[in-house]
């Protein structure tokens, strides 16, 4: 069956110019039966202007659509022409009525054992829309007077499990997710420019005069951001094809136990992060790896506390090696404490050497073990450390290399965050102000307040030009000796630069990857005048950003860079200078 044939929407033409949607609706329902029409749209030259004699009809069911296509429809001496359309439905919803369910129960949480799920939060009265034709499922949740939508794409589902709930006379469908769901907030009002607005040329049986706008975790305890699984509690009997339409579907003969996990709730803006007692001796590098294991679902969120107690008694290198073993697992380890104890026993028996520290590697090989954090609208992911070429700032503060972190803002599925998810237009009129979403406020909060991991609070430092294009920034965990403000002051005086982009570009130059070659003292540098020409009262400078380097010194620099010949020019950074020097 074609994509168009699966849609309940058809294109209609040859309409009388004086017709309204109410006239057309009454005619169609008189021919096809009551409740056969869901939405009507008549195209106009401008909003509320003269009809263009064509439009779209969205039927309530596919059967009503097929019946309308099979019979002649003559309305006010005009024979209506219906045809399949490649356009979207007027109102996007499941094609099959049985895939539209109301008054459901949804539990959000994570698994602590194969048949036990810790529930952070539950919602009742949930609307569920299963849309196999669009490869997604939507959960409409009401929190007080506000309505939110959780959108889960089928390709983000790791596993779908149908099971029975222990101590409850109900079945359940569990969705285990790779990424967090996209969260939307329902915005309505007289000035809202909704995608569908009821008037004389537009009709809908239900109220869809609103807009869905992207937002962040609306739960006060950040339950969605900390959850890796969602349990849809099913009351009564449902058609079996609803379940089998989900990806990676299987049935479990064991009962699922739901237990309360409110003690693991968090009010932090960045979740999930394992709670660590400030008095713990656990190194930051190890806590970072434990968080990474939780966020990539190698271990359960509830297991983090046990690992902290075990690994805080071990040296950093040994603990790091054990956790690297866990990173290689292709399943969730629910017995993480037993796994760690076994690996510790193996390491102590073999007594293998440990890798050099990040500071030693930075000095010897000009590379940096860089920790990274990915911030999505609802979650944080700790990644790394990853080896990358160092930059001028990190090399100068090499003894604090572990206090630097690269932070990138991504979509839930780690794709590029679209611009309309941050700021969008929701009001009518050419002078309407852009609406800044909850994601905008989340990004601003991270940049202003920083990220807290264990005892370290990472604060905004700067960003390079390439980072600006990829929504990334550098952050630094201030300590008693060095603060992020001190590093920016060391980088230079930027107070007189009023342009934000120009200031960022100047600061970013120090963060671009570069290779340190030779140290040049001030007495070995000569300041030469620029080559300038005045023509027609206009000043021209032909040597802006260009200097000279001697042939002998150029050969020494080339050897330091691993070249077997001297190039004609070098791109350099020296002190406050940046540009090109040509071999003279």
Are 14 and 38 found together in one domain?
A: yes
Residue 517 lies in a domain: no
Residue 274 lies in a domain: no
Are 483 and 456 found together in one domain?
A: yes
Residue 446 lies in a domain: yes
Domain housing 572: 522-583
For residues 331-349, one letter each, b for 16 or more C-beta atoms within 10 angstroms of the residue's C-beta and e for the rest, the string is: ebbbebeebbeebbeebee
The whole-number pLDDT of residue 386 equals 86
Which of 463, 478, 511 lies at the terminal end of a domain, its last residue?
511
Are 418 and 484 found together in one domain?
A: yes
Are 579 and 435 found together in one domain?
A: no
**pTM strictly above 0.85:** yes
Which of 234, 264, 294 lies at the terminal end of a domain, its last residue?
264
Are 373 and 256 found together in one domain?
A: no
pLDDT category of residue 193 using cuts at 50, 70 and 90: confident
Are 255 and 302 found together in one domain?
A: no
User: Average pLDDT of the chain?
Assistant: 88
Are 403 and 315 found together in one domain?
A: no
- Span 340-358, pLDDT tens digits: 999 999 988 876 555 555 5
The whole-number pLDDT of residue 544 equals 81
CATH number at residue 219: 2.30.29
Mean pLDDT lowest for which of 36-40, 255-259, 391-395? 391-395
Are 167 and 232 found together in one domain?
A: yes
Residue 269 lies in a domain: no
Helix (H, G, I), strand (E, B) or coil at 175: strand
Residue 90 lies in a domain: no
Mean pLDDT across the stretch 352-379?
A: 72
Residue 162 lies in a domain: yes
Residue 109 lies in a domain: yes
Please, which residues have CB within 8 angstroms of residue 379's CB and are 6 or more apart in sequence? Answer: 179, 180, 225, 271, 272, 295, 412
CATH number at residue 14: 3.30.70.330
The whole-number pLDDT of residue 1 equals 43
Residue 272 lies in a domain: no
- Span 444-475, pLDDT tens digits: 999 999 999 999 999 999 887 777 788 999 99
Are 387 and 482 found together in one domain?
A: yes
H/E run at residue 541? strand 538-541
Are 108 and 239 found together in one domain?
A: yes
Residue 192 has pLDDT above 70, yes or no: yes
Are 206 and 344 found together in one domain?
A: no
- Dihedral of the alpha carbons of 66, 71, 72, 74, in degrees to the nearest 10: -80
Which of 511, 534, 559 lies at the terminal end of a domain, its last residue?
511
Our count of domains for the chain comes to 5
The whole-number pLDDT of residue 94 equals 94
Cβ atoms 389, 381 nearer than 8 A = no
Polymer length in residues for the chain: 584
Are 322 and 436 found together in one domain?
A: no
């Amino acid at each position: 069956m074609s994509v168009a044939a699966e849609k309940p929407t058809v294109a209609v033409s040859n309409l009388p110019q004086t017709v309204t949607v109410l006239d057309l609706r009454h005619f169609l329902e008189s021919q096809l039966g009551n409740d056969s029409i869901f939405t009507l749209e008549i195209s106009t030259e401008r909003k509320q202007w003269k009809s263009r004699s064509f439009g779209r009809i969205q039927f309530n069911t596919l059967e009503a659509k097929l019946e309308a296509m099979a019979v002649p429809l003559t309305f006010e001496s005009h024979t209506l022409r219906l045809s399949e359309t490649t356009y979207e439905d007027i109102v996007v919803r499941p094609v099959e009525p049985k895939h539209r369910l109301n008054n459901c129960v949804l539990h959000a949480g994570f698994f602590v054992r194969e048949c036990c799920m810790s529930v952070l939060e539950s919602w009742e009265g949930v609307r569920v829309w299963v849309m196999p034709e669009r490869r997604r499922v939507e959960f409409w949740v009401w929190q007080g007077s506000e309505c939110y939508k959780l959108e889960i794409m089928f390709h983000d589902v790791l596993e779908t499990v149908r099971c029975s709930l222990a101590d409850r006379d109900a079945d359940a469908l569990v969705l285990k997710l790779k990424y967090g769901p996209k969260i939307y907030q329902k915005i309505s009002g007289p000035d809202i420019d909704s995608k569908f607005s009821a008037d004389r040329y537009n009709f809908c049986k239900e109220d869809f005069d609103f807009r869905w706008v992207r937002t962040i975790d609306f739960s006060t305890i950040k339950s969605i951001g900390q959850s890796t699984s969602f349990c849809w509690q099913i009351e009564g009997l449902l058609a079996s094809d609803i379940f089998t339409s989900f990806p990676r579907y299987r049935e479990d003969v064991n009962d699922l136990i739901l237990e309360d996990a409110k003690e693991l709730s968090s009010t932090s803006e960045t979740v999930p992060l394992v709670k660590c007692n400030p008095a713990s001796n656990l190194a930051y590098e190890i806590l970072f790896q434990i968080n990474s294991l939780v966020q990539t679902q190698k271990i359960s969120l509830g297991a983090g506390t046990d690992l902290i107690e075990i690994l805080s008694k071990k040296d950093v290198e040994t603990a790091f090696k054990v956790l690297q073993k866990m990173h290689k697992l292709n399943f969730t380890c629910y017995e993480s404490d037993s796994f760690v104890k076994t690996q510790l026993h193996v390491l102590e028996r073999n007594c293998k050497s440990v890798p050099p520290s990040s500071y030693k590697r930075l000095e010897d090989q000009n590379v940096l073990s860089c920790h990274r954090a990915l911030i999505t609208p609802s979650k944080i992911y700790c990644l790394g450390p990853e080896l990358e070429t160092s930059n001028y700032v990190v090399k100068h503060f090499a003894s604090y290399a572990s206090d630097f972190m690269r932070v990138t803002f991504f979509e839930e599925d780690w794709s590029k965050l679209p611009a309309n998810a941050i700021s969008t237009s929701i009001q009518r009129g050419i002078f309407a102000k852009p609406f800044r979403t909850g994601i905008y406020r989340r990004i601003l909060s991270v940049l202003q307040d920083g990220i807290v991991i264990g005892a370290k609070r990472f604060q905004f430092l700067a960003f390079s030009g390439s980072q600006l294009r990829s929504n990334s920034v550098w952050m630094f965990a201030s300590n008693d000796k060095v603060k992020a403000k001190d590093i920016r002051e060391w980088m230079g005086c930027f107070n007189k630069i009023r342009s934000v982009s120009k200031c960022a570009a100047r600061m970013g130059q120090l963060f671009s990857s570069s290779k340190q070659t030779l140290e040049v003292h001030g007495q070995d540098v000569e300041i030469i005048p620029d080559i300038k020409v005045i023509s027609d009262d206009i000043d021209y400078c032909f040597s802006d950003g260009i200097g000279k380097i001697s042939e002998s010194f150029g050969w020494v620099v080339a050897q330091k860079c691993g070249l077997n010949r001297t190039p004609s020019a070098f791109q350099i950074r020296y002190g406050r200078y940046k540009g090109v020097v040509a071999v003279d």
